[in-house]
Chains A and B, each alone.
Chain A
Amino acid sequence: MSIEVKNLSFGYCDRLVLDGINFKAEENQLISILGPNGVGKSTLFHCILSLLKGYQGQVLLNGKDTRAMSIKEMAELVAFIPQSHYPSFNFSVFDMVLMGTTVQVSAFSKPGKKQVQLVEAALERLGISYLIDRGYTQISGGERQLVLLARALVQETRILILDEPTANLDYGNQIRVMTQIKSLAKEGYTIMQSTHNPDQTFLFSDIVMAMKDGKIVAYGVPGDIFTEELIRNLYAAEVKIQSLYEDKVRVCIPKCAI
């Protein structure tokens, strides 16, 4: 499954948020989007997901224009994982994950045995079976993020889009969530995520896409584009980048702290 974005531009009133975005994401790729707040990362996701319609340009999923696709067809191809949140009503983790299977059942019916099995398998796969009967609003932020990931898995799509999956998570949960996401990419998913953590981006991503002022300023494998200039350009922060373990890891250190 591929995501191809061609000449995508989007503006609110007279302010251009996305300005001529072009890229193509392939299977087995985890693409991380880096960029300062308000640069249009979420807007880009909303355009790809057809939640925003008034854009110029094209979004192609597996070569097919999303403008010609129904809500159901979209949901069969792409799953979206929002930032972990508190919904208005407390659902059990089981019900929450089961909602991901909605696209597989007709409008007037509820998910059946097959969907229940999918839910159990997804929880098992992510190692959170013990949460099944807990309330979604009563578990930790990291657990909630994994539950949302499980919900996306049972949707049985091949493309995942994650909006800052590790925001507000503690260090251990960040690693757990990212490890799961990385292993999903290895299994053949096409994954796009937005993130604010440069070190993590280098460690886990196959492709890094850096955005500034609604444009892509760098695109490529982390080893090529992950430089001090890029960080300075994106975040207006002076950093020193250290390479460790034969360049398997690169660490950003703010210069003012050294």
Chain B
Amino acid sequence: MNQTKKNNLIVLSLGIILIFSIIISFWIGRYPVYTKELLGILFSKIIPIDQFWTDTMETVLFNIRLPRIALACLVGCCLSGAGAAYQGVFQNPMAAPDILGASAGAAFGAALAILNYQSSYMITFSAFFFSLVTVALVYFVSKKAKGSGILGLILSGIMVSSLFSAGTSFIKLVADPNEQLPAITYWLMGSLSGTKNSDVSFVIIPMAIGVIPLLLLRWRMNVLTMGDDEARTMGVNSNQVRIIVIVCSTLITAASVSVSGMIGWVGLVIPHLARKLVGNNYNHLMPTSMLLGAIFLLIVDNVSKNLFSTEIPLGILTAFIGAPFFLYLITRKGDIY
């Protein structure tokens, strides 16, 4: 019972940390915006203040930094929320958001759009569309598979993913090596550079549609981790709940990868970090994962754009940080998995 109070406190503190990280992120960047101007611009949106800053500063803050900060938070929140949800419904601690092929599909869609000289908006749309198509395909293939539903889903996820990866490789092979190939390769590395407000408005609705049910169903997800039969005898319609959770998680994963490209490890490592902090009860695990994911990706994105003179793709950094950190988590003394 004290555990509940402690966990509430953790969720609250993470919320506060997130708000501070967001404010600090507005301040960090190549174009200098000083604290006084920053606070002035931010507060002028709430209370009327006479302008004492330049228009460029306001443009930088609202058209360049704001969408990027918003997207880093949204993508981090969605990827780790989806990871935590998949781990629960598949009763598999190693499940990640791309387990059902959402990432492989998005990569194929993006590569296809780049090959056909599409606009950046079409690249995002194509990635989103193919991501959903891939997961739908995985789902229908698994319906035909014999035996356990969960194993069937995971196996068809692996197979369909590798099919789409092969497709992506083929597109890279035939792409124009001077322009298209680097564009595809860069997209696949995962990055939030060049984020526009339109990207945020593209993903915000699917993300909201996906995140809200995941938060509402978190007690049922606990019961689902006991396995289908047990969940049913406790009054949970396991097939129904699983399908809702899969659809929602897929929606937010697809929305995330369509604007950010391949950002690995967040969906696996952050839920595990959250499990260490608040335990496995989804009541606290889900919000903790989402907040931690948002904070993590925001910080890593700040590092990726400011550490060196050229930007390092986010996907590379998350892998560099994620993999060793995961090793630390699983080898740390005193924990039982």
Residues of chain A at the chain B interface (Cβ within 8 Å): 46, 49-51, 71-72, 74-76, 78-80, 82, 87-92, 94-95, 99-100, 102-103, 105, 107-111, 116, 133, 135, 137-138, 151, 155
Q: A76-B235, A103-B234 are in contact. List 17 more A-B contacts (CB 8 A).
A: A74-B232, A75-B235, A78-B233, A80-B229, A82-B230, A89-B91, A94-B3, A99-B222, A99-B223, A102-B220, A102-B223, A102-B234, A107-B217, A109-B219, A110-B218, A110-B219, A116-B1
A89→B225 contact, CB < 8 A = yes
Residues of chain A contacted by B216 (CB below 8 angstroms): 107-108
Q: Which of B264-288 contact A (CB under 8 A)?
A: 275, 279-281, 283
**B219 and A71: CB pair below 8 A?**
no
Closest Cβ of chain B: how far from A56's Cβ, in Å?
A: 21
Contacts of A76 in B (CB 8 A): 235
27 interchain pairs, CB-CB under 8 A: A49-B229, A49-B233, A51-B232, A74-B233, A75-B233, A75-B234, A79-B233, A79-B234, A80-B230, A87-B225, A88-B91, A88-B93, A89-B88, A89-B225, A90-B280, A91-B222, A91-B281, A94-B3, A102-B223, A107-B216, A108-B216, A109-B219, A110-B218, A116-B1, A137-B336, A138-B336, A151-B234
Identify which of residues 139-157 in chain B touch chain A, using a CB-to-CB cut-off of 8 Å: none
Return the chain A residue nearest B216 by Cβ. Answer: A108
Q: In this assembly, does B236 line the interface, its C-beta being within 8 Å of a C-beta of chain A?
A: yes
A76, A80, A107, A111 — most chain B CB neighbours (10 Å): A107
Q: Which residues of B contact A102 (CB under 8 A)?
A: 219-220, 223, 234-236
* A51 and B93 contact, CB distance less than 8 A: no
**Could you tell me the distance between the alpha carbons of A49 and B88 in the complex, rounded to whole angstroms?**
24
* Chain B contacts for A110, CB-based, 8 A: 218-219, 283
Verify A90–B336 contact, CB threshold 8 A.
Answer: yes
B201 proximal to A (CB < 8 A):
no
Closest chain-B Cβ to A64's Cβ sits at a distance in Å of 17
**CB-defined contacts of B229 to chain A, threshold 8 Å:** 46, 49, 51, 80, 82
User: In the assembled complex, how far is the CB of residue A171 from the closest CB belonging to chain B, in whole angstroms?
Assistant: 27
CA distance A74 to B220 in the complex (A): 17
- Chain A facing B: main interface SS: mixed
CB-CB contacts below 8 Å: B54-112 with A: 87-88, 91-93
Query: For the complex, what is the distance from the CA of A125 to the CA of B224, rounded to whole Å?
Result: 27
B226 at the A interface (CB under 8 A): yes
Distance to closest chain B CB from A99 (angstroms): 5
List residues of chain B with CB within 8 A of the CB of A103: 234-235
CB distance from A30 to the nearest CB of B (A): 19
Interface assignment of B237: CB less than 8 Å from any CB of chain A = yes
Q: Which of A71, A94, A133, A135 lies in contact with B232, CB distance below 8 A?
A: A71
Closest residue to A52 on the B side, CB-wise?
A: B229
CB contacts (< 8 Å) of A133 on chain B: these are 3
Interface residues, chain B, with chain A CB atoms under 8 Å away:
1, 3, 87-88, 91-93, 216-220, 222-223, 225-227, 229-230, 232-237, 275, 279-281, 283, 336-337
Please name all residues of chain A whose beta carbon is closer than 8 Å to the beta carbon of B233 when the two chains form the complex: 49, 51, 74-75, 78-80
Q: How far is the CA of A91 from the CA of B87 in the complex (A)?
A: 14
Interface centre among A89, A105, A111, by most B CB within 10 Å? A89
Q: Which residue of A lies closest to B244 (CB)?
A: A107
Closest 4 CB pairs of A and B: A103-B235, A75-B235, A80-B233, A110-B219
Which A residues are in CB contact (< 8 Å) with B217? 107-108
A109 to B217, CA, bound (A): 8
Q: Report the nearest A residue to B4, measured CB to CB.
A: A94
Residues of chain A within 8 A of B230, CB atoms compared:
80, 82
Q: State whether B237 touches A99 (Cβ < 8 A).
A: no
Nearest B residue (CB) for A133: B3
- B3 contacts which chain A residues (CB < 8 A)? 92, 94, 133
- Are B235 and A89 neighbours in the complex by a CB distance under 8 Å? no
Q: How far is the CB of A83 from chain B (nearest CB, A)?
A: 11
Closest residue of chain B to A91 (Cβ to Cβ) is B280
Partner of A71, one of B218, B222, B236: B236
Chain B residues in 8 Å Cβ range of A100: 234
Q: Which of chain A's residues have a CB closer than 8 A to the CB of B87?
A: 89
* Chain B residues whose C-beta falls within 8 Å of the C-beta of A99 in the assembled complex: 222-223, 226, 234
- Chain A residue numbers with a CB within 8 Å of B336 are 90, 135, 137-138
Say whether A71 contacts B225, CB under 8 Å.
no
Q: How far is the CA of A88 from the CA of B87 in the complex (A)?
A: 9
Docked complex Cα distance between A242 and B3 (Å): 53
- Contact yes or no, B219 A111, CB < 8 A: yes
Interface centre among B87, B216, B234 (most CB of A within 10 A): B234
Task: State in angstroms the CA–CA spacing of A151 and B233 once bound together.
Answer: 11
Whole-angstrom CA separation of A137 from B93 in the bound complex: 15
Query: Measured between C-beta atoms, what is the minimum distance from B152 to chain A in Å?
Result: 18
Known A133-B3, A135-B336; judge A95-B281 contact (CB<8 A): yes
Q: Which residues of A contact B91 (CB under 8 A)?
A: 87-89
**Least CB separation from A89: chain B residue:** B280
Q: Which residues of A contact B220 (CB under 8 A)?
A: 102, 107
Cβ-neighbour of B93 out of A79, A80, A89, A155 (below 8 A): A89
* Closest B residue, CB atoms, query A103: B235
In the complex, A78 Cα to B230 Cα: how many Å? 12
Q: Give the complex CA separation of A107 and B285 in angstroms.
A: 18
